[in-house]
Structure 1
Amino acid sequence: MNVTLDAAQLVSQVQAWGQELAFSQIGVSGVDLSAAEPGLLAWLSAGCHGDMGYMAAHGLKRARPAELVPGTLSVITARMDYLPRATPEGWQGIEFERLDRPQEAVVSMYARGRDYHKVLRNRLQTLSERIAASIGPFGHRVFTDSAPVLEVELASRSGIGWRGKHALALHREAGSMFFLGEIFVDLALPPLDATSEHCGSCSACIDVCPTQAIIGAQRVDARRCISYLTIEHAGPIPLELRPLMGNRIYGCDDCQLACPWNKFAQRSPLPDFDERAGMSGASLVELFAWSEAEFLRRTEGSPIRRIGHERWLRNIAVGLGNALRASPEPTITQALHTRANHPSEVVREHVAWALAQA
């Protein structure tokens, strides 16, 4: 390795390059996450990971970067804010109001634009290439929510944000409306100062959770989390949780909307995260009518595509059932009947449940 900069200078240079690539913040962490291992094991042993078997399969590798990628000496962490450029003032209240309109489909804010995996991965790779151009070839691997990585732990150790009670990273000047990414490197870089916690006695995120999935400070039971149920979970949604989902069809932002720190959330300068047509303000009936071909076309390059058309219909059927209970309108019943004989047993069962809510 042809190092032309000392390690501290390199970190400063990487931060400058990161800013040029639209990253909001760059941090550096060491690789000793052993203090996080007991909590991770307890969470896994309690089954809080639900169907996400890969989390248990990787076990403590999640807390051991040097085992996940042999040779790793440091982790470069990155934050990228994602609020769309046109996000209005008072956006938290506006988003809460959507939940009071039962027939409106609510998609989590992070998923209304381009797939963040692609945006961050490409830019992290470019950042890695700039480092290599400066110091010569070095060992590295880029991650964006794509491997067993303790992202929030690394973020908090590298100065990017503390772990909020909702288990997401929080920053005093950016709230929690941001994505995280990492570059595991075989360079010994000086870690930046860890972030102190600033949640205090506030429990807004815990109190607002529709399904009471936040079972303790910094502890989320995925099996009750609407984000997990609508995205990661493949089978039937538990009956007792369906009424609590309301009109949320992909993800859930409630814990973030209630967080006081998110009044400081930042708009992204990138057009990638601007809202796509149909992802904000559309009706459940309208989205339920999408054929698989239309679903694939509308969600091209979107994180929503990964759940597939079957889960899309399953989620919307639950929303339609909840809307039907609130206001038994013929258009909702008619929409549900169009999928009553769907080839998927999961879709048929959720449609039947929804029709029974009238």
Structure 2
Amino acid sequence: MISKEDIVIKSKEFGFEDVGFTTAEPFETHRKFLADRQEEYGWAEAVGLDLIKGTDPRAIMADAQTVIVLMEVYFRKAYPRHMEGHFGRCYLDDDRVTKDGLSQRIKAFRSFLRDNGIDSKVPFNLPHRVAAARAGMGTFGKNCLFYSNTVARQGSWVLPIAVVINHTFEPGKPTVEMGCPDWCKNACIAACPTRALKGNGTIDPRKCISYLTYFGQGLTPKELREPMGLYVYGCDRCQNVCPRNAAWLANDLLPNEKVEAKASAFELSALLHMDKPYFESKIWPHMFYMSSDDLWRWRMNVARAMGNTRDSMYTDDLIRAFRENKDDRVRAMSAWALGRIGCKKDKAALEDFLTDSSGQVHGEVQDALEQCN
């Protein structure tokens, strides 16, 4: 039978930068946390994430003995700056659909285990960050993210991957604790525009910009539009301001050529006017939390981001979006964005739209005109 050291060596051959071990005992504290906060986390059930079941590894694999945690640095290379401003970095090179990178390395690792008589499963709903902390691989931040002890210059640009196996290995010493320095002055909490971070390492996920971009219901409330800023899908604000991440952000990274090759497909103008075939071939394989039924939400998010740039270069796009879209949520946000940009051409278009709108959209057009004055 292979040793723990054999697994560590092999995992690093497959490109994982750290590896840890913890038992397959239930994550009881996390289970209670979720059970006590169903108002905040109940939405996960509706989107197919059985988080409470995931707190018991033996509900995933009946003979589970150990959880191996592989540490992936998802921000190894630099992304195009304009993409970082609109999309969370963890989504820019996500291959859970394309399976052309990380997925292949996980598959190779599991094949190595299988060749040595060990069965494994890689559950999507096991609390990966908690598993990593219980394996002694790092600590938590006040932004609720996991910070490595050893990789990414001890930053949070990491993805712990939990592999449940049916063999016993000695577990690491848990480090389930907050690792933020006192002098950081709650930088992440102060910087969260929607006040999703509540302090003491807790978050209301329903207020998080990431959640709002892909799970938000209906027209984004006015009080959230400006705070959500330029993000279209995901958010990195709490990571960008974190002192613990400063060392990695200062690193001179090589460009991610894979992401650069698809950057033009993610230009805001292209996203605002994309049709279903464009979305399904160019966007969904990389950012798949929303289906083609949710194109309205993509367009609405893009219109909001355009408005928050305050750049008149987007005026023509927004006018076109208002005229061509049948969805009132997209039309309403396009009007809001035109009002936020507020140049002479925006005002003229909004005045024209007053006669071509009704109900909520009409009200948004009127409010946008007031912004132009």
Sort the TM-score into its range (normalised by shorter chain). 0.7 to 0.9
Secondary structure at 1:288 match in 2: helix
Superposition map of 1:273-352 within 5 A: 274-278=259-263, 284-299=268-283, 301-303=285-287, 306=290, 308=292, 309-323=295-309, 326=310, 329=312, 331-340=313-322, 341-352=324-335
Shift of 1:127: 0.7
Partner of 2:126: 149
Q: 2:143 aligns with which of 166, 172, 197?
A: 166
Which of 28, 31, 36 matches 1:34? 28
1:198 match: 179
Assess, with a 3 A threshold, how the Cα gap between structure 1 residues 125 and 208 changes in structure 2: closer, same or farther. Answer: same
Q: Deviations over 1:285-308 (max 9, x none)?
A: 454233433333332641357454
Per the alignment, in what secondary structure is the counterpart of residue 35 of structure 1? helix
What are the superposed Cα offsets for residues 203-246 of structure 1, whole Å, 9 maximum, x if unpaired? 11111111111012221111111111112335432332112111
How much has 1:37 moved relative to structure 2? 2.7
The one-letter code of the counterpart of 1:83 is F
* Contact 2:113-2:120 at 8 Å conserved across structures: no
AA matched with 1:213:
A
Deviates more, 1:49-58 or 1:59-68: 49-58
Structure 2 distance, partners of 1:181, 1:37, is: 19
Contact kept in structure 1, 2:22 and 2:134, CA below 8 Å? yes
For the pair shown, which has the larger CA radius of gyration, 1 or 2? 2
**Mean Cα displacement is larger for which, 283-292 or 15-24?**
283-292
Distance 1:267 1:116 in 2: 27
One-letter identity of the residue aligned with 1:38 = K
**Aligned twin of 2:61:** 69
- After superposition, the CA RMSD in angstroms is 3.2
Q: Which residue of 2 aligns with 1:219?
A: 202
Partner of 2:75: 83
CA deviation string 1:54-81 (max 9, x = no partner)? 4897363232121233222211111111
Quote the residue 1:259 is aligned against: 242
Q: Which secondary structure does the structure 1 equivalent of 2:107 belong to? A: helix
Matching residue of 1:128:
110
Q: What SS does the corresponding residue of 1:107 show, helix, strand or coil? A: coil
Q: 2:67 and 2:86 mapped to 1: Cα distance?
A: 35
Q: Deviations over 1:158-206 (max 9, x none)?
A: 1222121111110244201122211111112211122354213231111
Equivalent pair of 1:50/1:222 in contact (CA under 8 Å): no
CA 1:305 to 1:297, structure 2 compared with 1: closer, same or farther past 3 Å?
farther
The runs of 5 or more residues in structure 2 that have no matched partner are 339-364
Confirm or deny that 1:48 pairs with 2:40. Answer: yes
Give the CA deviation at 1:22: 0.9
Q: Match of 1:248, SS?
A: coil
RCO higher in structure (CA 8 A, sep ≥6): 1
Give the TM-score taking structure 2 as reference length: 0.76
C-alpha separation between the residues in 2 aligned to 1:157 and 1:105? 33
Q: Given the two structures, how large is their TM-score scaled by the length of structure 1?
A: 0.79
**Per-residue Cα deviation, 1:39-58 (whole angstroms, up to 9, x for no partner):** 222232xx223633348973
Q: Letter of the aligned partner of 1:131 in structure 2? A: L
**Distance change >3 Å, CA 38–CA 270, structure 1 → 2:** farther
Is contact 1:318-1:350 (8 Å) kept? yes
Q: Give 1:90's aligned residue.
A: none
Q: 1:124 and 1:277, CA in 2 relative to 1: closer, same or farther beyond 3 A?
A: closer
Q: Check 1:276–1:188 CA distance in 2 against 1; reply closer, same or farther (3 A cut).
A: same
Which position in structure 1 is the counterpart of 2:349? none
Question: In proportion to residue count, which structure has more helix?
Answer: 2
Tell me the CA shift for residue 115 of structure 1: 2.6
| Amino acid in the other structure paired with 1:62 | G
Aligned-partner residue type, residue 278 of structure 1: A
1:279/1:13 Cα in 2 relative to 1: closer, same or farther (>3 Å)? farther
2-side partners of 1:206 and 1:335: how far apart? 35
Shift in Å, 1:279? 6.7
CA distance in 2 between counterparts of 1:76 and 1:288 reads 42
1:207 paired with 2:190, answer: yes
Identity %: 25
Counterparts of 1:115 and 1:200, CA distance in 2? 34
Give the unaligned 5+ runs of structure 1.
88-93
Instruction: State the partner residue of 2:337.
Output: 354
Q: Separation in 1 of the partners of 2:49 and 2:12?
A: 36
